[in-house]
Chains A and B, each alone.
Chain A
Amino acid sequence: MWRDTSSALKALTSSHSLPATMSLALRFVFALLAVAAAHAASLSIASPRFTITAPDASQLRSQQLSLTEKPDALTLGQADVLKLTFQVVEQEEGKGVQPHQTFLRFHDEVTGEEGVQPVRVTPGGKAKFELNMARPPTSLPPTTTNPLKVSLILGSFTHSPAQYELFDLYVPASQSPPAHPDEAAFAPRPEITHTFRPEQRIPAKAVSAFFAAFVFWPWLVLVGFWFEISPRVPHLFSPHTLPFTVSLAAFEVLLFWYWVDLRLGQVLLYGGILAVPTAFAGKQALAKASERRLGRK
């Protein structure tokens, strides 16, 4: 292995091009990993044993555990104590080893609750775990009448990891787990029903038509009065005032055209264009009118 590393390093330092260096570095890393994997031994348990004692120190059950065959389910009372001892060894040589991670996992398959308890292992691989139901550890999950599956998880950098199902455990039922304040948000929410404002009622056609006609009779009043008054408009069609009148009428036509067809930008543009001659015509017409008024006075 060291020969490979030195030759790889030499190749790295001697080569000058960057892509060649990158590929060499990658190949070096892969080589190291392959070496580590090829040399990894697997972990195992030697002499696993459990003991259940009652609070008055009398032994209720004691048994050797087999890794291949699960024993009958264990039952713990309110104050019983479960003691579990084992030694972690390498599978081939049987040498005691201290793995980097040793966990006992308590898993309720029905509700899905689980708890993980780390187990202290001596450098020689010996491990001891005690579960006192009078003072249960915080890692024990909320339990019901379902059994807890107890499994041992071993993790290590130098060895390949292992997981062993040990036994099923019945413990007294605990309080149910507290509901998460956000839990309602993750379940389907109630269906939203919208209430819309009811449609506006349109009045009867007869009423509408009558009022449409009715609103026009003031025009008759107006026209009647104007005929009766019939003021003199002597200079209406003179060349001074006529352009002004015509441009004012043109403005009205433009606005009506806007109502029917045009868009805002267009009407503003046309209005702006029309305003110029209107202003001139107006100036002229009104100047003449004032002249006439002052002249007459």
Chain B
Amino acid sequence: MAPKTVSSPATTNSFQSLLRSYNETTLPRLKLIDAFLLFLMLSGIIQFVYCVLVTNFPFNAFLAGFGSCVGQFVLTASLRSQVNPANRAEFKEVSPERAFADFALGSIVLHFFVYNFLG
């Protein structure tokens, strides 16, 4: 991951140190989830930019695609926060397995609605 060169060395340094600390402290599984989150964000941004710049012609398709990105992002983010061992104190009554089951169910329902809208 090459650091982006920004205006001042101070911000570059802080950004680099942030990335380094992230790399070192985060568990591999959490990094997996983070990659997925990044992917979702990028997809959503591209779809939104297309809708704004070019056309929103099959509006239902745009809603389905963008909604799927946003919904899946929300579900995955909640999964990540519930699964993170550092948050164990916050989520006493929700085990990681339960969180994953919720995630799976929520994803399936979301996909169902998205496919309905896709047309």
A residues at B contact (CB < 8 Å): 200-203, 207-208, 211, 214-215, 218-219, 221-222, 225-226, 229-232, 248, 251-252, 255-256, 258-259, 267, 271, 282, 286-287, 289-290, 293
Contact of A203 among B28, B29, B39, B55 (CB under 8 A): B55
Closest residue on chain A to residue B104 by CB atoms = A248
Q: How far is the CA of A248 from the CA of B96 in the complex (A)?
A: 18
Closest residue on chain A to residue B31 by CB atoms = A229
Q: How far is the CA of A222 from the CA of B47 in the complex (A)?
A: 17
The answer to whether B111 touches A252 (Cβ under 8 A) is yes
The answer to whether A202 touches B31 (Cβ under 8 A) is no
The distance from the CB of B68 to the nearest CB of chain A, in whole angstroms, is 11
The distance from the CB of A200 to the nearest CB of chain B, in whole angstroms, is 5
B residues at A contact (CB < 8 Å): 28-29, 31-32, 35-36, 38-39, 42-43, 46-47, 50, 54-55, 57, 95-98, 100-101, 104, 108, 111-112, 115, 118
Instruction: Find chain A residues with CB under 8 A from B50 CB.
Output: 211, 215
The answer to whether A221 touches B46 (Cβ under 8 A) is no
The answer to whether A218 touches B42 (Cβ under 8 A) is yes
Closest residue on chain B to residue A294 by CB atoms = B95
What is the interface of chain B mostly: helix, strand, loop, or mixed?
helix
Q: How far is the CA of A287 from the CA of B97 in the complex (A)?
A: 8
Instruction: Find chain A residues with CB under 8 A from B47 CB.
Output: 215
Instruction: Find chain B residues with CB under 8 A from A218 CB.
Output: 38-39, 42-43, 46
Instruction: Find chain B residues with CB under 8 A from A256 CB.
Output: 115
Instruction: Find chain B residues with CB under 8 A from A267 CB.
Output: 112
Instruction: Find chain B residues with CB under 8 A from A207 CB.
Output: 54
Instruction: Find chain A residues with CB under 8 A from B118 CB.
Output: 259
Given contacts A203-B54, A226-B32, contact A255 B101 (CB under 8 A): no
Q: How far is the CA of A229 from the CA of B47 in the complex (A)?
A: 27
The answer to whether B35 touches A226 (Cβ under 8 A) is yes
The answer to whether A222 touches B36 (Cβ under 8 A) is yes
